[in-house]
Amino acid sequence: MGDVYSLSDIALDFYHDPMAAELFAKLDFQLKDGMHFQQWKQQRPYFDFIQKHENSLQAYYERYFAVKLDYSGEGPTRYYFLDFNSGDRGRIDGDHRYFLKPEYVIIGFLIFKIIYIDRNVELNSVRRLQATIRTDYEEIREDLYRVIAKLRRTTPGQLGNGRIDDVVADTLREFKKIGWVELEGDSFDPLPAFLRLQKLYGDQINRVDELLKTH
């Protein structure tokens, strides 16, 4: 019993911070909706709050929701998130427990490959990214269309270049929602949290050509 009460006490320590009333409710909802917090623009106050109360908040989510508040990266590349990819999905309501759609994951693989593996590090235009996928990766285009069409329950013939461009744009908007990219008009930039894609799917990213052919 002593351990339970001790954990509860630690889990509530962050409530005593004067900034908790202003920050915690929004922070909690966004974490449950898949947001990754890092040292970036409007995220910084929330990142600082998590970092200041890291032990307390980890105990809070473990005690009351059975989910892990985790982090990756160090220094300026550090980011925090709730780990919904572990074996235990926790007690968070399904409406808030976040998972990426498979088509967004696949487009994410391509974005990662284009920028980090194929070293197009200055690529920061949505339109250029769409054109790059269409023209510079012709060897996988047919397989990409087939897989995306299957996931969207349509036929490859109905999924032309314009529809793939839409999927790319949808993916970037979704990545913005969870703090993986900065997106403003035609400009986008990967944020430190985008590297979580590699941590989750590193082997698949390296074999994306093969995966598209076999699915």
What is the average pLDDT score of the chain? 89
Q: Where are the domains of the chain?
A: 2-13+23-83, 102-214
Separation CA 67–CA 95 (nearest Å)? 15
Q: Is the dihedral of CA 8, 86, 193, 180 positive or negative?
A: negative
Mean pLDDT calculated for residue range 145-174: 83
pLDDT value, residue 105: 95
Question: Using one digit for the tens of pLDDT, what is the confidence trace for 2-59?
Answer: 444 455 678 889 999 999 999 999 999 999 999 999 999 999 999 999 999 999 999 9
Select the CATH number that applies to the domain covering 2-13+23-83 from these four: 1.20.1050, 1.10.10, 1.10.3470, 1.10.357: 1.10.10
Q: In angstroms, what CA-CA distances link 156 with 14, 98, 103, 135, 194?
A: 51, 28, 14, 17, 29
Domain formed by 102-214, architecture: Orthogonal Bundle (1.10)
Per-residue pLDDT for 162 more than 70? yes
